[in-house]
Structure 1
Amino acid sequence: MTPQAKVEILQHLIQIPSVNDHETDVADYIASLFAPYPQAKIEKVPFAQNRDNLVVTIGNPAGPQLGLCGHMDVVSAGNESAWSHAPFAGEVVGDQLFGRGASDMKSGLAAIVITLLEFLEQGVQLKGSVRLMGTVGEETGEYGAAKLTDEGYADHLAGLVIAEPSGLDNVVYTARGVIDYKVVSTGKASHSARPEKGVNAIDNLMKFYNAVGPIMAKHTKTDPVLGGLLHNVDLISGGEQINSIPAHAELMANMRTIPAYPNQVIYDELEALIAKLNEEPDVDLALSYSYPEEAIPGDPNAPLVQLAKQISDEVCGHDTQIVGSGGANDGAEFLRAKADFTSIEIGPGSNTSHQVDEYISITEFLQAVEVYEALVPAFFEETLKTAVD
């Protein structure tokens, strides 16, 4: 495949506005690229209407299986008039290709798609199988990866590479988890001149707010790579009008966890606090979570980590760093699978993800294809050698 043909695949992906939805359009396009190859097993795994995950499997089923993962959704472009380059055009200027998702993460997705296509085009005889997993809803909760995990698509993986925009000079082997939670306070409305007739939902919500901070501050363990536990209340709302006692109030908080504190530890503490406060007269608090993800533990010396570093060093001519990530990724869901495997994150990217005029370097995008095409067979060789030893 020529470099121009590879760029055109990325442009086509960017031209599909899969903003927090409509991933099926992306899945259908990618599936069409594999349609000429009967040896490729193509599966669409529905999550919701217009939201199909895509799984493409090629290679030797008798050998180990390596997963290559990329999400098909992108965040909103926001005010499109603020862009110098139309967000869904895939415009090329010099070495830069612009568009929403150019960095996060349709360039990584395109690179792993092209990797499989070139193996098929060139008739490469792989010693294992490669499973491409295109997921929905990563930007809003990794629920495509959750669906694929629940359906067993990661149960036989020997390793997983997520093509998130780490930059090819970084291999991410560990990542924070996330807990988004909401607390709703239900009170009773009354005229503000007769507060005794009502129950102030804001006052009761603030009892939780004032108590939860000190509880979370007790978690003083730190991870040498990821740092400490993070807890931030980011949204608070309540009340109807200035002369009424509020009957409803709510807050939402975001937590970034570390392997030292599994999510269940946090759930237990939050739920115990809610139960304790609800024992007080007129307090009615309800707690809910939004797609929480566990932190991803990891070993910087794991064979897949070291192999990815070595290959990226050779292809790109730089000293690839082995690092952790403050953000969650699909790997948190896939690690719930029955198999025991290393998950890493390495992919093309720039520092413009989620920003106006998001772009990717075409040079780095093409290098990513080289990295993946070298990594896949090397991983099979390493895995089979280890099995024999």
Structure 2
Amino acid sequence: MDETEKIAILQKLIQIKSVNGNEAAVARYIASLFEPYQQSAKVEFVTYSPGRDNLVITIGNPNGKQLGLSGHEDVVDPGELSTWHHDPFAGEIAAGNVYGRGASDMKSGLAAIVIAMLELLADGTPLNGSIRLLATVGEETGEYGAAQLTKAGYADQLAALVIAEPTGLDKIAYTARGVIDYHVDSIGKSVHSAQSAKGINAIDNLIVFYNEVTEIMQRLDKIDPVLGGLLHNVDLISGGEQINTIPGEARLSANVRTIPAYPNQMIYDILEKLVHRLNDRAGFQLKLSYSYPEEAVPGRSNAPLVKLAQKIGHRVIGNRVIPVGAGGASDASEFLQSKAQFSAIVYGPGTNTSHEPDEYIEIEQFLQATMLYRNLALAFLAGEGN
């Protein structure tokens, strides 16, 4: 496949408006690229909901070990279009870059995986195992496509997993923070503020929760040498109806970035114990809920998969590749919950423009990524990185 064809695939993916939905169009387009290889590629659509399809494509020898290559199909909203100089859904080329929503996060990584697999098929390259593409829905809003595929067993045969999220090709993320988004709903009693003694202020009760949970989280002071400490931030508080009425309802929403030393279950236990204790007080009625929590990803900088990816990456880009930690979660958090025991890394093309206006990927880096994934897959299946 020549460079023009590769770039055209990336442009086409960017042109599909898969903003937190419509991933089925991405899945269909990728699947169409494999139609010439129907005898050599197993293509499976796994529907999450109407218009939202995960895609699983497996190539190679089913009797050998299996390498997973994963990317998500969705993108975040482009926001205010007036802040863009390039159409976010055109895939425009300028100054050696491809611009558009998802150019960095992460349609360039997804396209590079697809191209690497297509080239292996086109060349008839014999594989000592299999490669499985896991293209997911809903990563930007909670990794629920990866969760669906994991529950369905699509990661149960993996020997290793590479997530093509944008690290830049000079960095490999081998460990990552987990994420817990939680909400506390407070029910009080609404009355006129001139008769406040008859009411129960739902906001006041949330403030009590806020103060106590902040104090508790500050005591969790272990520091991970790569990721740093646990982070807890209350980011949203809402409630009340009008200024002269005691609020009968209020909600607090917070974000926790966990580290391996403080697994998610420990945080759940802390939060649930606090809510239970406060609800024993007169006038308190708090309800705790979570949205799409993700476990922290442990790892070692000297793990065989990391070392192999460093070696292959160095050969491709000509520079040193550094193992790092990642502050955000990825689909790896879900796939690692499978029945298999395997190492996972996050390693993909990208720039620091993800989620920003005029998001872009350097064409040179994108083309290097196609070569990197091909060479990494061949090396891993040949027995390196075990």
TM-score, length-normalised on structure 1?
Answer: 0.98
Which AA in structure 2 matches 1:32? S
In the TM superposition, residue 3 of structure 1 has moved relative to its aligned partner by: 0.3
In the TM superposition, residue 382 of structure 1 has moved relative to its aligned partner by: 2.2
The answer for the alignment partner of 1:269 in structure 2 is 270
In the TM superposition, residue 95 of structure 1 has moved relative to its aligned partner by: 0.8
Distance, in Å, in 1 between the alignment partners of 2:311 and 2:351 is 21
Alignment of 1:242-281 (within 5 A): 242-281=243-282
Distance, in Å, in 1 between the alignment partners of 2:321 and 2:79 is 33
Paired residue secondary structure (1:245): coil
Which AA in structure 1 matches 2:106? M
The answer for the alignment partner of 1:29 in structure 2 is 29
Distance, in Å, in 2 between the alignment partners of 1:116 and 1:180 is 36
1:124 pairs with 2:129? no
Alignment of 1:48-127 (within 5 A): 48-127=49-128
Paired residue secondary structure (1:367): helix
In the TM superposition, residue 302 of structure 1 has moved relative to its aligned partner by: 1.3
Offset from partner CA, 1:293-336 (integer Å, 9 cap, x none): 00000011111110000011111000110111001000000000
The answer for the alignment partner of 1:164 in structure 2 is 165
The answer for the alignment partner of 2:296 in structure 1 is 295
Which AA in structure 2 matches 1:34? F
Structure 2: runs of 5+ lacking an equivalent: none
Identity %: 62
The answer for the alignment partner of 2:10 in structure 1 is 10
Distance, in Å, in 1 between the alignment partners of 2:95 and 2:129 is 38
Distance, in Å, in 2 between the alignment partners of 1:9 and 1:353 is 19
Which AA in structure 2 matches 1:257? T
The answer for the alignment partner of 2:380 in structure 1 is 379
Distance, in Å, in 1 between the alignment partners of 2:199 and 2:220 is 37
Distance, in Å, in 2 between the alignment partners of 1:227 and 1:330 is 21
Paired residue secondary structure (2:289): strand
The answer for the alignment partner of 2:182 in structure 1 is 181
Offset from partner CA, 1:80-107 (integer Å, 9 cap, x none): 1211000000000131100000000000
In the TM superposition, residue 199 of structure 1 has moved relative to its aligned partner by: 1.0
Offset from partner CA, 1:24-78 (integer Å, 9 cap, x none): 0100100111112121000011111111100000000010000000000000000
Which AA in structure 1 matches 2:167? S
Paired residue secondary structure (1:216): helix
Distance, in Å, in 2 between the alignment partners of 1:215 and 1:11 is 48
Distance, in Å, in 1 between the alignment partners of 2:167 and 2:382 is 25
The answer for the alignment partner of 2:367 in structure 1 is 366
1:133 pairs with 2:134? yes
Distance, in Å, in 1 between the alignment partners of 2:352 and 2:138 is 21
Which AA in structure 2 matches 1:26? V
The answer for the alignment partner of 2:221 in structure 1 is 220
Which AA in structure 1 matches 2:23? E
Distance, in Å, in 2 between the alignment partners of 1:305 and 1:243 is 60
Offset from partner CA, 1:279-304 (integer Å, 9 cap, x none): 01111000000100000000111111
Measured on the aligned residues, the alpha-carbon RMSD in Å equals 0.8
Which AA in structure 1 matches 2:219? K
TM-score, length-normalised on structure 2?
Answer: 0.99
In the TM superposition, residue 197 of structure 1 has moved relative to its aligned partner by: 2.0
Distance, in Å, in 2 between the alignment partners of 1:351 and 1:60 is 37
Structure 1: runs of 5+ lacking an equivalent: none
Distance, in Å, in 2 between the alignment partners of 1:15 and 1:258 is 37
Distance, in Å, in 1 between the alignment partners of 2:352 and 2:36 is 36
The answer for the alignment partner of 2:311 in structure 1 is 310
Distance, in Å, in 1 between the alignment partners of 2:288 and 2:47 is 29
Which AA in structure 1 matches 2:95? G
